[in-house]
A and B are shown apart, each in its own frame.
Chain A
Amino acid sequence: MYRYDSIDKDFLADRTAEFREQVARRLAGELSEDQFKPLRLRNGLYLQLHAYMLRIAVPYGSLNPTQLRKLAWIGRTYDKGYGHFTTRTNLQFHWIKLSDAPDIVDHLASVDMHAIQTSGNCIRNVTADPYAGATSEEIDDPRVWAEAIRQWSTVHPEFNWLPRKFKIAVTAAAKDRTAAKTHDIGLNLKRSRDGALGFEVMVGGGLGRMPYIGQTIRQFLPATRLLSYLEAILRVYNRHGRRDNIHKARIKVLVAALGREEFAAQVEAEWEKNGAGADLPDTELARIRGAFVPKSFETLPSVSETFEAARLRTPAFARFARNNLKPHKVAGYAIVEISLKAIGATPGDATSEQMEVVADLAERFGQNDIRVTHEQNLVLPHVRLDDVPAVWAALAEAGLATPNMNLVSDIIACPGLDYCALANARAISVAQHIAERFADPDRAELVGELKVKISGCINACGHHHVGHIGILGVDKKGEEFYQLTLGGSAAEDAAVGQALGPALPYDKVAEAVDTLVETYLRERQSGERFLDTFRRTGVAPFKEAVYADVH
């Protein structure tokens, strides 16, 4: 993984010194809350319902064991012994004291981590495929480009005061694990016919109260021109994005207003005039690429006897292997998904002890590599099949072996009314109720891939628009109600879900999901996922079933 050099370390030290001074000036009353707010936001510090929340950046979801242990230690020392992984692959601590924040960011800096630009109207933490470097599907390592973007976007002099927040994702595989089309910019690495590397550039995706799927403005951008092209997009947006209405300030509104062609034409014109000043020289790209050269993999048989024996002996392990292992590009290795969605737990939460278990496993069995996914799970990308049984046993002991990847209980949920000042309704407990209904793992497996996503308000942090089943908390005369949508997707077949019908009260939501699933099981034809069946039948049978039940 990328290691900070002295320049990166100096940069962080300067930033933490600046932040310490800003906090001191705030505590001394020299800065008003209005003046302080955008400064603390650019350092990841939010004011929530009960306390400050600190959002720590995990660039492109990549962590090493030392970093994860430090996060565990911070959770134990300054918070309540746990943290929350987010859909932006960040880690949030929800119970932080303002006066502790400068010390915490110093501790983070000691392991090359920070909370820079994890909120505020600036370029946010860049995300990438969590299987980078491990999947045979990729045509290049997206982390190389994500790291280039991380550096370029850090304290960018021109783009730190944008109309609104700005999110970029990089993927390099046909199967999109980054939700690229829901980003302000989604980048998809491709090779041209002559073998040259480039990006398909998608712009203007985004959720929130007006969901849009990103549109392609360039089919093939030569990879080495990436940063100058991003600069052109950002400049057009910085100049022309709306600043009069916070709800219309995202780039998606500008792209929709101008139309894809006109927006693309403006970007191309700006790019041509601006030249290549922002682009990295080959030497720097090579230096970054060097940080991601594959670890040395052993030459192993593709079938592991230890692994096969454990599978036959232990049904629970066999189930874990079926659901949580993904094929690795090297024979004899596997990608291991660690679910942070234990039945009844808060989606995305991990205790300090759990973080330490994962850090230990990564060190012993996983080439010191840990990933965070936008679906709020963790990944050990490089585990020998021979070691998977031992990894599983340790995970199981720590409550981390829930075999539910991509199943109905692998739910994305925002913090909702439990933490968030903007929420209309609870999201976490709705997720828990649904997970409990599908606690029987046989039934969950029978149902198969089903992505449930829950947001506590229209800001859509839980990505409900792109859930196969989306659930949105709304307020009806002071009571929590939930709007259900069906048929959304955040993957390469991205789509915004379609409303099911009138909103349902809190205690009817899990039941309604159950009914939707039963309807799917009744309607499905061979090999269809929930999403496929919905796309074939439309909303009618689902609607009928749910509202017949409710009334």
Chain B
Amino acid sequence: MSGGQTIEVVVKAIEQVTPLIKHFQLASPRGEALPAFSGGSHVIVVMRGEARVHRNPYSLLSAPQNLDSYEIAVRRMDESRGGSHFMHDRLRVGSQLEIAHPVNLFGLDKIARKHLMIAGGIGITPFLAQLEDLHGGLVPYELHYSVRSAEHAAFLARLQAREQEHVHIYYDSENQVIDFEGLLSKQPLGTHVYVCGPAGFIGRVLDAARGCGWSPSHVHWEQFSAPPTGDVFQVQLARSMKKIVVPQDSTLLEAIEAAGVDVPYLCRGGVCGFCQSKVIECDGELLHYDHFLSDAEKAGGKTIMPCVSRARANHLVLDL
């Protein structure tokens, strides 16, 4: 049941939109319509390399009304783990891929009085689809987009063409920064804020929101960063009676999957809670990197989110 059945797609077009970001258009090989989705959804892209299988989440940035193809954007990450290098270096027009059905963990609140969207860098992608949902509607919205420089601003033309009066762009190169406190303290009642971007960026927005007294139910965020790498460790899977080694540049989840054991997942980013697994024994330390478990649960050492978390232990047994 991990991710449900996948959908076969073929790469229709590839465009280098900034020095680091490539834009991909994916369509059904038979020209059929792809499943409908809502703005803010992501898909897990399954990449079958020779040595290993990557499964990375990417936000859908295309218009939800257009189901002839899906569009995603992939930023080339510095470390070579993860699939961004595969996407950048190996894919050609015509390459085949599998994707899971879209999942939305970052949806717009339907009764919000106003939507305030804050994007950092590649974090612009989910908002592109949401803007399509919001355009021409009755609910006011604005997007604040912080990016290195004009050269690095993906989809600038697309944004400016139609959303001119809703979009505010801030270039690092020109020392323009978003004043989070200022922005968050002057919003009308019933506003929801959405933030997507690098971890530190999200953290600052969340801090500002807390400082300004925002209710957590009005603050939404999504982060797809490459799961952390770390030291090699060993795991025993009690139910499937397997012993596996988690390499440095692989996640625990990937290593379990490579051993042929299925773990349910939705986000592969430590957010949804789907992959939660029971720890039967651990003689060392669990390294929790997820945003799902409470601090008490993390300290309890009885459970782990294998999509992002690791361990420093000689003897770790999971109920899988």
**Are A and B bound to each other?**
no
